[in-house]
Structure 1
Amino acid sequence: MSELTPLTAIGEFALISRLQKGISMRQPGTVLGIGDDAAIIAPTAGTELVMTTDLLVEGIHFDLAFCPLRHLGYKAIAVNVSDVAAMNALPTQLVVALSAGPRFTVEAIEELYAGMRLACEAYNVDLVGGDTTASRGGLTLAITVLGEAPAGEAVRRSGGQPTDLLCVTGDLGGAFLGLQVLEREKQAFLADPETQPELANYEYIVQRQLRPEARLDIVHELRERGIRPTSMIDISDGLASEVLHLCAASSTGARVFTEFLPLANPTLEAAAEFNLDPLTCALNGGEDYELLFTVPVTDHEKLKNHPDITIIGHLTAKEDGANLVTKAGQAVPLQAQGWTSF
C-alpha cells in the first residue's frame, strides 16, 4: 500500500486542483464551475429556482467506524437532492463545503469526493464549487443544492386539502434497522477487534442506511402521468413527523392507516430479530428519504397501480387532528418520536 498524503503536505489549493480534475459539468445552465470566486449559473427562462442546504457532522449524523467515505460522499449528495425532489424540482448545481481534522489524508478526501461524483452522475447535477478548511475535530460537510422546476410547478408543504390522498414512495423503516445492525456490529468489534462484521443477511437494510437514494425517479414519473402533488416532503425524520409537518403547513388533519404502511421483508425480519415493532420503525425511524405527498382524490386512477407508490391514508379537516388508524379501526393521535437536531 502506498504511503498516504497528509493534507498539510499539499495545502488547500493543490487539494482543490486535484479534486477539480474529476469533476465534469452536465447542465446547460452551468456557465462556470470550480476555479473562480463563484460559480456562474444561468437558469432557464420560465423556471422556478429552488435551493436547499444540509449540514452533516461526524459523530452526530454519521459514524466513520462503519460508514465508508465513498458511501458518505454519495449519501451527502443524495439527502440534499431528496429535498429538491420534495419540491417537485430537479437538481442542477451544488456546492460542497468541508472541514477536516488532521487525521484525514488527501486520499481520504479524494475517496469522499469519488462518492460525490458518483451521486452527481446518478442525479445529473453539477458540482460547481465550495470551500475547504481545517478542523480541530472530525469531519463536517455542508452541501447546498440548486434545483429547477417549470414555473408554477414547484410544490410546497402547504398545499394539501382535506380529502387529498396521502401517498408514500418505496418502503419504510429499513434505514433505521440498518443502523441498528451497524451499531451492533461496531460494539462487537470494540469488544473483540478480531471479530468480523456479519452483514451478509442485512444487505438491503444496511444499504438503506449507508447509501440511500433520492426519489427523483418519482418526480419524473409523476410528471409523465400528469400529476402535480398538492403538497410534498421527504421522509428524513420519520413518517409520523413528516405527516405532522404537512398537516401543520396545510392546516389539515390526517388519517394514516397502519395496514397500508409499506414494509419490506428484510425490514420485518430485522425488526423481529431486534424485538422492535416494525410499525414504530416505519413511523419514527427516519432516514428513509422516500417522498410523502398528497394528491386530489381525482388522481386515484393514475396512481392505484403504481408499483412503488402506496396510498396510506388521506387528509382531513384540521379539527379532526392527525390520527393513526389501526387494523381494528381504532384512531389514536399521531405522535412524532423520531430524530430531533437538539
Structure 2
Amino acid sequence: MADRTLNETPRGSRLHIALFGRRNAGKSSLINALTKQNVAIVSEVPGTTTDPVYKSMEILPLGPVVLIDTAGIDDVGNLGTLRIQKTLGVLAKTDLLLLVIDPQEGVGHYEKEIIVKAHQDKVSIVGVLNKIDLNMQINPQELENELGITVVPASALTGQGIEDLKMAMIRSAPKSWTPPTILGDLISPSDLVVLVVPIDLAAPKGRLILPQVQTIRDILDNDAMTLVVKERELKAALAALKGKPKLVVTDSQAFLKVAADTPPDVLMTSFSILFARYKGELATLVEGVKAIEALSPGDKVLIAEACTHHRVEDDIGTVKIPRWLRQFVGGALDFQWSSGTELPSDL
C-alpha cells in the first residue's frame, strides 16, 4: 500500500473530471463503466451517493485524471441541502464537467443551473445522455441545440457509447491542460540541484515526504543531477563540490540557516514556494504575505492546512507559524484552524 501511494500521481496533479446530475441519473454507474471497476456503489435507491467519491485513472492522451462522483443536484431534505452544497463545492476544483442526463427525467432547471455555473467558472462541460438502452425518445442533437453543449448518448449498463464519451472528454478537456513541472523550467540538463531536507520530529520515519520525492523525480526527468543533504551538512557539501550548484531548495523551517550557508550568486528557494507555484497558488499566497504587514494584536487569523496529520510538539501550523506571527505583530492574535479541503463557511 505504501509503495503504491508514493508512486502514483498525486490527486492535485491530475485533471479533475466531475460527474454532475440528478439522483439516479446513473453517475455512479458511469464511473464504473469508465474505469471498468466497481468503484462506486450503485443502487436503485435515490441518493445512494452522499459524499464526493474520487477515483484516479489514466485516460490517454490526457494522462492521469481523477473522476469525481457527486450526490444528486436534486437531493431533498436538510441533509439533501448539505449534500448539494458539497456537490457544488466540487465545481471549484473541476476541470471538466460531465452532466449526466436521465432520459426518463429529461432536462429541467437543475441541469440548466449547473451549465450556467460551469460557464461562469469557465469549466469545460460535456453532456451524457445516459440509459439509451431504455430506448427513450430523446434526440441528442436536439439536446445539444437546447443546452449549447456537446451531448453524447451512452449506456453505463451495456457499455454502448462509453468509448465515444471518452473521445468527447479528450476533445473537451481544457486546451491549457499540461502536466506542470516543479522546477524543470528553472534548470538545464546536467545542472546540479541541492535539496536540503531537515529530519525533525514531524519527518516520517524511514522515508522522505512526497514533495521531496516528487522534486527529485522532476530533476531526473529534466536530465539534471541532485544532491540531498540535511541543513547541518550543507556548508560541507558545497565546499566539497568542484563547482557551484544551479539551485538550492530547502525546507521552510531551515530557510535562514540555509540562506546563510548558500553563496549569494546561487539561486535559492523552498519546497513550499516551488509547490505553491506548481499548484498555481503562488500569486495568491504572495498577496497573503503582504496582508501580514497590516496585522495588529487581537486580529483574527485563519491557518488552513490542506493535509490532515497527527500534530507533534513543534508542529508548523499550530506552533511555529502562530509563534512567528505573534512575534511579528508584537502581541496576541486570535487564531483559528481548519484541516482538509473545506474552508469555514463564514469566510
Structure number with higher relative contact order (C-alpha < 8 Å, ≥ 6 residues apart): 1
- Say which one has the larger Rg: 2
TM over 0.5: no
TM-score band by shorter chain is under 0.3
TM-score, structure 2 length as denominator? Answer: 0.22
TM-score, structure 1 length as denominator? Answer: 0.23
- Structure in which a larger fraction of residues adopt strand: 1
